[in-house]
Amino acid sequence: MARILVTSALPYINGVKHLGNLVGSMLPACAYARFMRLRGREVLYICATDEHGTPAELAAAKAGLPVAEYCARMHQTQKALGEGFRLSFDWFGRSSSGRNHALTQHFAARLHAEGLIDEVSTRQVYSPADGRFLPDRYVEGTCPNCGYDRARGDQCENCTKQLDPTDLLNPRSAISGATDLEVRETKHLFLRQSALKERLAEWIGSRHGWPVLTTSIAKKWLNDGEGLQDRGITRDLDWGVPAQFEGAPWTGMDGKVFYVWFDAPIEYIAATAEWADARGHGEQGWRRWWREDDGAGDVRHVEFMAKDNIPFHTLSFPATLMGSGEAWKLADFIKGYNWLTYEGGKFSTSQGRGVFMDQALEILPSDFWRWWLLANAPETADTDFTWAAFQSGANKDLADVLGNFVSRVTKFCRSKFGETVPEGGEYGAEEAALAAELQGRLDAMAAAMEAVEIRRAAAELRAAWVAGNEYLQRAAPWATFKTDPAAAAATTRCALNLMRLYGIVSRPFIPDAADAMLRALGLDPEAEARWPESAAAALNALPAGAAFTVPDNLFAKIEDSTREALEAQFSGAS
């Protein structure tokens, strides 16, 4: 498939995201998209802020702002932080967009036409103290499944069990803390997911190579207990996509909006349409990515998300698409991630535990964070972030291996041959062996990225950096220069070519440093952004006489005193 649509979980609008949110979806999606662009694929990476539901209303109330204004401000904040981390979105939209309103209402009407929407009188939590119904996250309490005492009314973040507010033990209002809650009758729309169980099971069974984490969670929700449940898709809220609209096939839904988990995934389609609109591509410009009857058959959809989002993307969103009776493209690959923990515990905004995206960029450039997080991505198990591990990984991999190589090569060449690629000498057995080793590493890295195994790809990239250092140590041009300047020139020329190669293949992981290496060699990073056809050819790419400059130190080491200060600052200790 020539074209690839990449999506990552939509970050909630209710504040700056922490490093666990970053590595759980957006960052690996970016690395994958960057790699596929290097491979010459037509890639569209779509994301957006998730702006509806109770998190937005609660955060806005806490900030003392109207919810629409709060969301607009926070969207700009999250967009800027994405740019700071060099997340290569082709479009970063908003789920509150007019496009998403229209599409969400379209899907609801289509599902109703297919007999998959029921109007159900339900018993909902009502708070006399707040004078309103309390949908999902407006209710907190104890999870009946695992006993977690801060479970939300839609899902327990501890055990990921999907809940209704009435399921919670010892419930309380998330607005006022009131516990004198009542249960009253109200009418809502329900998506008959249970009617689609067999089709969903068949579809999931037809997906090959999915991570065990993804398939195990999907099958658990399909088959555990009473199996896949019908799900309410409206809520008693003011902020969201109105459930009563012109042409709606129902009445009596005034004052209700669609549930955030119904409209949020639809934003992927809406954001694609917004991207097409912004570029003047028209309707066909987005339909060719999403509609099987309009050319989307040759598109590969790859989704990235943390494990708490997996049920909605393996079941609820596919149910919406297939249940509509229209030819929508379904996901081909869903990459699920475990948790990133912080020093053995959870990240906590209220307690000041852990590092959030804005804080991280104030401490160090984005490449430090990108590298460590991707090299330690929680793919098969939870990963614990510790400052000691972060310091060790950054210093050893970035400063001692890659940064040291670039510094040694460029400074040696400047001192002995000037600031041009030296001529003279011939490549020999050492260079042939280096090319063979690099080819194996690059092939393995590419295979890992194609399989969306980011940690394995990072390990192969680091091994390629190590190979360059070992080559330089064996060839020792600083020693051979005294007796055989031509041989030293050939070694140095090979090493400068190797620096160019690193600048290309490192781009998915550390884009700023990769571009700095290429610019130091007088090259345009965008023009060089093509995966090398062969390592041997790459070692001969720079012509003798080409000018270069010695770049600034790519990666400064993190000192012990700095680490200790950061440990104390983000410990959550009062």
Binding residues for ATP: 349
Asked if 200 and 156 count as a contact pair (C-beta separation under 8 A), the reply is no
Q: If you search the block for the tokens 């339909």, which residue do you land on? A: 287
Strand order through the sheet with 139-142: 151-152, 139-142, 169-173
CA distances from 278 to 73, 177, 416, 442 (A): 21, 44, 52, 36
DSSP code at position 64: T
Residue numbers in the known binding site for Zn(2+) are 143, 146, 156, 159
C-alpha neighbours within 13 Å on the C-beta side of residue 196 = 26
Helices 27-38 and 429-450 pack at an angle, to 10 degrees, of 120
| Alpha carbon distance 6, 8 (integer Å) | 7
Q: Which residues 6+ apart lie within 8 Å of 190 measured at CB?
A: 117, 118, 119, 120, 230, 231, 232, 233
Residue 517 one-letter amino acid = M
Write phi, then psi, for 124 (nearest 5 degrees): -120, 155
Asked if 337 and 305 count as a contact pair (C-beta separation under 8 A), the reply is yes
| Alpha carbon distance 463, 461 (integer Å) | 5
Write phi, then psi, for 251 (nearest 5 degrees): -130, 170
| Alpha carbon distance 48, 13 (integer Å) | 10
| Alpha carbon distance 339, 341 (integer Å) | 6
Residue numbers in the known binding site are 143, 146, 156, 159, 349
Strand order through the sheet with 132-133: 132-133, 117-127, 182-191, 231-232
The token pair that represents 132 in the structure block: 């309103």
The token pair that represents 28 in the structure block: 């690996």
Write phi, then psi, for 263 (nearest 5 degrees): -85, -25
The token pair that represents 507 in the structure block: 């781009």
> What would you report as the CA-atom Rg of the chain, rounded to the nearest whole angstrom?
27
Q: Which of 469, 345, 484 is nearest to 401 (CA)?
A: 469
